Amino acid sequence: MKSDIQIAQEAHALPINEIAAKVGLRDTDIEPYGNDKAKINWQAIKRTMANQHLGKLILVTSISPTPAGEGKSTMTIGLGDAINNQLHQRTMIALREPSMGPVFGLKGGATGGGQAQVIPMEDINLHFTGDMHALTAAIDTLAALVDNYIYQGNELKLDPDRILLKRGIDVNDRSLRNITVGQGSKFNGVEHKSSFAITVANELMAILCLSTDINDLKKRIGLMLVGYTIDDQPVFVKDLGFEGAIAALLSNALKPNLVQTIEHTPALVHGGPFANIAHGANTVMATNLALHLSDYVLTEAGFGSDLGGQKFMDFVSEHLDKKPDASVVVATVRALKYQAEGTTENLSKENLSALRDGFENLKRHMNNMRNYGLPVIVLINHFTTDTENELNLLQKLIKEQGIDSVVVDYHEQGSKGGIEAAKAVLDLANSQSGHLIPTYQKDDDVKTKIAKVAQKIYHAARVEYSEKAEKDIQELEKMGKDKLPVIIAKTQYSFTDNQKLLGAPNDFTLHVKGASLKNGAGFIVITTGHVLDMPGLPKHPAALDIDVDNNGKISGLF
């Protein structure tokens, strides 16, 4: 069996200007990076955003994943290919671009799989168009400017020990979680503690993903909270005058990246915040652009309905030109058995009892999405180890909940592996039966928002706040920032804050450890459980399987 990267490298890519032409973009509208990828220029963006056309928006989310993932990107890409190439509807796909850290760590590549991939696969997973490097440079330039401000006199009396900005690097490196800078002589700067977060976990990534143009980008950067003075006064980037320089570093990265699937469906791959520690969706600019350029847009929200799904519905959709028209929940037989068994060892063996028990997890995810008031369908990602008995039972259980399901195999068959699924999804998107019902109201305070997400989405019985979290919330209230949307940082493996509690737990306590203001992004990150913004590498990192030959051909990216 060929690996994903072999399939991607053997695919025949069309010139990127031909892909652009499929959605009405001219050669002069794009800035090519080689023959197979391009950025869309500002003139084309402004012209496109001014038109009144808006396509249908289809959100793809999933059940709680196994550590290997359940093929949500593969499903999104395959479904987009099926709608575009089998049903002949003008379609675009909007996806996050991968972080390089996990590519070399646990996850490997992140561009779909099998016959349902975006290409050039190795470029997208590694350096792509340089957006991640630009973000990293912007993050660390801002950190350097702040440290230099303190060294050069510190007119506002910024407290070095209360700087909130973190440095960034697009690498999984646990040794950088806590560092001390400025050590040695006074010529090395003012000594203080600092830390690194992986690039995609930084507020600047969220800002890039939410900005609608360069002026908005600059404004949001200026609103970022740097830290506090020795007199306990907040200091923002605009107080120091750094927003213009940082926006300049990100101005090219703000332009969406155009690529294609193996089957030549246009795809915008742009921005990549994690869904467990951030909002987990590609850029607002890419999704809006796709809505104005095509009739159907497929996008995904990271991890399950409790993370990316909830954040997309309650936060991201507020920044889009329209709300989703339908939602797809991706499920697999093996993941549901994992929810019951808690181990990956015997997932290839038929186990109807475990499947029935694990179904409670899917049931909750389905109901989460249905409770938003939008039409929902479950697409079952077929694996060769699935038995007919298991698939029949799963579809029966789903049907009993009043929701339709279709078994698909885009991985092996490409767009032909799910034509009926594509028809069913289009019917839902065109039904105009949905009206998004948010989990919380905009004017709810921070604790009310947390409680509503915890109770309605996670099914927690109560929320418990640490002493630090209480102080953080008091500070938000003092600043008048306690009614911003909440982005809850939580493990992706459980509805709780304990990744070992699988299935669909009830009557548990959600433990809130802290609350941090992301003022430029316009949300509050609520920290629960043990969630890290700088991952480490596993004992056998994916990097050990990655290589390149003397002709520059890369292998091992799954």
Whether 536 is covered by a domain: the verdict is no
User: 260-291: per-residue pLDDT in tens?
Assistant: 999 999 999 999 998 888 899 999 999 999 99
Residue count of the chain: 558
Domain count for the chain = 3
546 conformational bin, left if phi > 0, alpha if psi -120 to 50, beta if neither: beta
Nearest Cα neighbor of 221 from 234, 231, 211 is: 211
- Is 270 in the same domain as 381? yes
User: 403-419: per-residue pLDDT in tens?
Assistant: 999 999 999 999 999 99
| DSSP state at residue 461 | S
CA distance 255 to 364: 37
Instruction: For residue 164, give the 3-state DSSP assignment.
Output: coil
Nearest Cα neighbor of 545 from 534, 557, 530 is: 557
Give the E-state strand segments of 90-221 in sequence order: 91-95, 112-113, 116-119, 158-163, 167-169, 179-181, 192-194, 196-198
Paired tokens of 115: 């016959």
Whether 555 is covered by a domain: the verdict is no
More confident residue, 435 or 295: 295
| DSSP state at residue 349 | S
The residue to which tokens 């700067």 are assigned? 189
Whether 383 is covered by a domain: the verdict is yes
Is beta strand 225-229 parallel, antiparallel or unpaired with respect to 158-163? antiparallel
Instruction: For residue 348, give the 3-state DSSP assignment.
Output: coil
- Is 116 in the same domain as 51? yes
CB 276, CB 303: distance < 8 Å: yes
Nearest Cα neighbor of 242 from 144, 322, 168, 170 is: 144
pLDDT above 60 for 108: no
Whether 18 is covered by a domain: the verdict is yes
Whether 450 is covered by a domain: the verdict is yes
Instruction: For residue 453, give the 3-state DSSP assignment.
Output: helix
Whether 546 is covered by a domain: the verdict is no
Q: How sure is the predictor about 107, in pLDDT bands with cuts at 50, 70 and 90? A: low
CA distance 59 to 456: 20
Task: Please list the residues that pair with 486 across neighbouring strands.
Answer: 524
- Is 322 in the same domain as 364? yes
Q: What is the CATH number of the domain that holds 84?
A: 3.40.50.300
Q: Write out 217-265 in H/E/C secondary structure.
A: HHHHHHHCEEEEECCCCEEEHHHHCCHHHHHHHHCCCCCCEEEEECCCC
Nearest Cα neighbor of 23 from 291, 416, 300 is: 291
Which of 225, 250, 275 finishes a domain?
250
Paired tokens of 229: 């003075």
| DSSP state at residue 466 | -
Nearest Cα neighbor of 329 from 296, 368, 290 is: 368
CB 120, CB 97: distance < 8 Å: no
Q: What is the CATH number of the domain that holds 489?
A: 3.10.410.10
- Is 64 in the same domain as 102? yes
pLDDT above 90 for 433: no
Mean pLDDT across 343-354: 92
Q: Write out 509-532 in H/E/C secondary structure.
A: EEEEEEEEEECCCCEEEEEECCCC
| DSSP state at residue 14 | P
User: 456-508: per-residue pLDDT in tens?
Assistant: 999 999 999 999 999 999 999 999 999 999 999 999 999 999 999 999 999 99
- Is 116 in the same domain as 152? no
Position 199 scores a pLDDT of: 96
Range with the poorest average pLDDT among 53-67, 99-113, 202-216, 387-401: 99-113
Other CB atoms within 10 A of residue 123 CB:
17
Q: What are phi and psi of 83, to 5 degrees?
A: -65, -40
- Is 277 in the same domain as 424? yes
Instruction: For residue 332, give the 3-state DSSP assignment.
Output: coil
CB 71, CB 114: distance < 8 Å: no
CA distance 149 to 145: 6
Q: At what angle do helices 333-341 and 388-400 cross, to 10 degrees?
A: 80
- Is 111 in the same domain as 212? no
Number of H helices, E strands in the chain: 20, 25
| Alpha-carbon torsion (59, 306, 101, 236), positive or negative | positive
- Is 17 in the same domain as 77? yes
- Is 275 in the same domain as 403? yes
Whether 334 is covered by a domain: the verdict is yes
Which of 378, 398, 429 finishes a domain?
429
Cα three-residue angle 492-368-341, rounded to 5 degrees = 50
User: 147-169: per-residue pLDDT in tens?
Assistant: 999 999 999 999 999 999 999 99
CB 277, CB 525: distance < 8 Å: yes
Share of the chain above pLDDT 90, in %: 92
- Is 269 in the same domain as 409? yes
Position 435 scores a pLDDT of: 86
- Is 90 in the same domain as 139? no
Which of 250, 265, 295 finishes a domain?
250
Domain that holds residue 188: 131-250
Average pLDDT, the chain: 96
User: 62-72: per-residue pLDDT in tens?
Assistant: 999 887 677 89
Report in angstroms the alpha-carbon separations of 338 from 90, 159, 359. Answer: 37, 48, 10
Q: What is the CATH number of the domain that holds 162?
A: 3.30.1510.10
Position 93 scores a pLDDT of: 99
Position 77 scores a pLDDT of: 98
Position 68 scores a pLDDT of: 67
Give the E-state strand segments of 290-336 in sequence order: 296-304, 326-331
- Is 413 in the same domain as 504? no
Whether 535 is covered by a domain: the verdict is no
